[in-house]
Amino acid sequence: MTSMSAPLLNPSLLAGDHANLAASAQLVADLKLPWLHCDIMDAHFVPNLSFGPETLAALRRAGSTLFFDTHLMLDEPHRYIEPFAKAGANLISIHIEPAYDHAAALARIRALGCQNGIVLNPGTSAAAIEHLLALVDLVLVMTVQPGFGGQPFRRDMLPKLRQIDTWRRERGLNFRLEVDGGIDVATATECRAAGADTFVAGTSFFRAADKPAFAAAFARM
Ligand code: DX5
Ligand code: ZN
């Protein structure tokens, strides 16, 4: 994949209906969108809680065949790779900030049959993940401080996207470059110009009155 790869809108279940997450996932599937972003929070790495592996397993039992892009916002993500893989995650992304063996955890994700991803908070420089770029299927650049939906987009993350996209092209790598936080059609357009190809959208997606039109705007990006 290059920076010219097709744009992918990736709705975040965090902004869905927590009393009926299966229906929220079905809204995504009905639009023929292939991915669903699943935010997992531990109230330590981020000051909030969301849901866990049983939620993913329940969505699978309810018939969802979406690609579960599972974003682990956890202090000890390496301890939860196996439960999420077993629960039906297709991609598991882990943050660079906590101290653990990142390369081993990324390899473990692939060994369990999932794609892997590395994630950076807004305060973390691109250089912190440079050594891992050849080992990943996805790099997620947080465009808000993680923990809550509905926060404003951090435009100061655009140079970080450009840097990572440049490394990707220079080195002939093919990971996805994903953004997460404050993404709508306008901010996604800016991220697209900086090299992003995968766009997590929570609030803007679930609040969009005309979801087919919203999805179409991303497809044209
Ligand atoms: C933030 C989560 C995001 C969140 C984005 O901690 O990682 O995935 O759902 O929500 P919006 O799109 O509302 O900023
Ligand atoms: Zn997320």
Q: Ligand 2 being an ion, which residues bring their Cβ within 5 A of it?
A: 39, 71, 180
The reply to whether 75 belongs to the active site is no
Using the atom order of ligand 1, give the atom closest to the CA of residue 151: 14
Catalytic residue among 165, 180, 184, 197: 180
Ligand 1 pocket check for 121: Cβ under 6 Å: no
The reply to whether 39 belongs to the active site is yes
Query: Digits of tens for pLDDT over the chain (221 positions)?
Result: 444 689 999 999 999 999 999 999 999 999 999 999 999 999 999 999 999 999 999 999 999 999 999 999 999 999 999 999 999 999 999 999 999 999 999 999 999 999 999 999 999 999 999 999 999 999 999 999 999 999 999 999 999 999 999 999 999 999 999 999 999 999 999 999 999 999 999 999 999 999 999 999 999 99
Residue closest by Cα to atom 7 of ligand 1: 146
Beginning with the edge strand found earlier in the chain, give each strand of the sheet holding 198-201 in spatial order.
8-11, 198-201, 176-180, 138-142, 115-120, 91-95, 67-73, 35-41
